[in-house]
Amino acid sequence: MKEFCDLALLFLPVRMSTEEHKQYGAALWFETMWTMYEVVEMGDRWGSELPNLFATLSYNNPDFMDWSIIYDTVFTRSLRAMGLSIREGKTPIRSPSSPIAKYSLKKLGKGLGFKIQDHLKTFRCHLSYLVELLIEAIDINDVEKANIAIQNLTLIFYMVPILDYSDCIKHHKLTNEEQALCKMSVRLPVLAEMALDKMLDIIQCLSVTAAKDSSSAIGSFKDLATKEGSEEKVLKKAIDRCVAAIFKNADDRVSS
């Protein structure tokens, strides 16, 4: 099965127009690959790259299909994989000093005529909370956890435009849940800035190294004490990709 997944990821066409996908592209293989992802117990041995395949397809061809039918599965798998829970009584308490604190549901719901929390029925409504938890997981003291968090943030930032859609409710007829989502989108640029700050802290920590001795300065010996480790290289690459995703999908407020 691992060999099949490796070959599929290598040869399946992804970067095509939507019309091409419907004729001889993803329309022929998406249902099969998605069923495998849903039914088969995924592990590190095979299938771990399938989410990247789906993310690439959805990013390049957002109009290929109605993606909302798979939202619940995507968010459920993400939450389980990271050991998170959004059930009552298990949502972490946000620090009052957090930049996102001033965008509480109570404040965002002013003028809507209904309580936002009463209309958060699907998993997509919890996107901002998921992103916030991932940002908190970026910790230089746990490189593996930080790397996983940054990789997940990269996927989200590539798939979700980092924009404030709160004004859309003035120009479009939307359901209460859609209005709530538009109001909550004001958090996305703030979260992107928080992620950039966290990753900048990581870069600053990685840039601090011990002073080299005289022999290594001459260049005759390799300074193993200050040599960059494999974990640091992987983490830096993950940060590069995440920053690229933010600058690609964010507005001028974040990227300027």
Instruction: Identify the pLDDT of residue 192.
Output: 94
pLDDT at 81: 62
Helices (H), the chain: 2-11, 18-24, 26-39, 50-60, 71-81, 105-108, 127-136, 143-159, 176-184, 187-207, 214-218, 230-249, 252-255
User: Which pLDDT score is estimated for 219?
Assistant: 44
> Which 3 state secondary structure label does DSSP give 29?
helix
Highest mean pLDDT among 9-18, 45-54, 83-92, 194-203: 194-203
User: How sure is the predictor about 89, in pLDDT bands with cuts at 50, 70 and 90?
Assistant: very low
Quick: pLDDT tens for 39-65: 765 555 555 677 778 888 888 888 888
The Cα–Cα gap between 29 and 8 comes to 10
Taking residues 130-153, what's their average pLDDT?
88
CA dist 123 and 245 (Å) reads 22
pLDDT band at 82 (very low <50, low <70, confident <90, very high): low
User: Rounded mean pLDDT of the chain?
Assistant: 79
Distances in Å between the Cα of 177 and the Cα atoms of 67, 123, 189, 251 are 17, 11, 20, 24
Residue 56: CB partners within 8 Å, gap ≥ 6?
14, 15
The residues with which 162 forms a beta bridge, in sequence order, are: 250
Over residues 229-251, the pLDDT tens digits come to 677 888 888 999 999 999 988 87
In terms of Cα–Cα distance, which of 164, 144, 154 is closest to 243?
154
pLDDT digit string, tens, across residues 157-210: 988 889 998 889 889 999 888 898 889 999 999 999 999 999 998 888 877 644
Tell me if 82 sits within 8 A of 144, measured CB to CB.
no
| pLDDT-based confidence at residue 222 (cuts at 50, 70, 90) | very low
Q: According to the model, what pLDDT value does residue 196 have?
A: 94
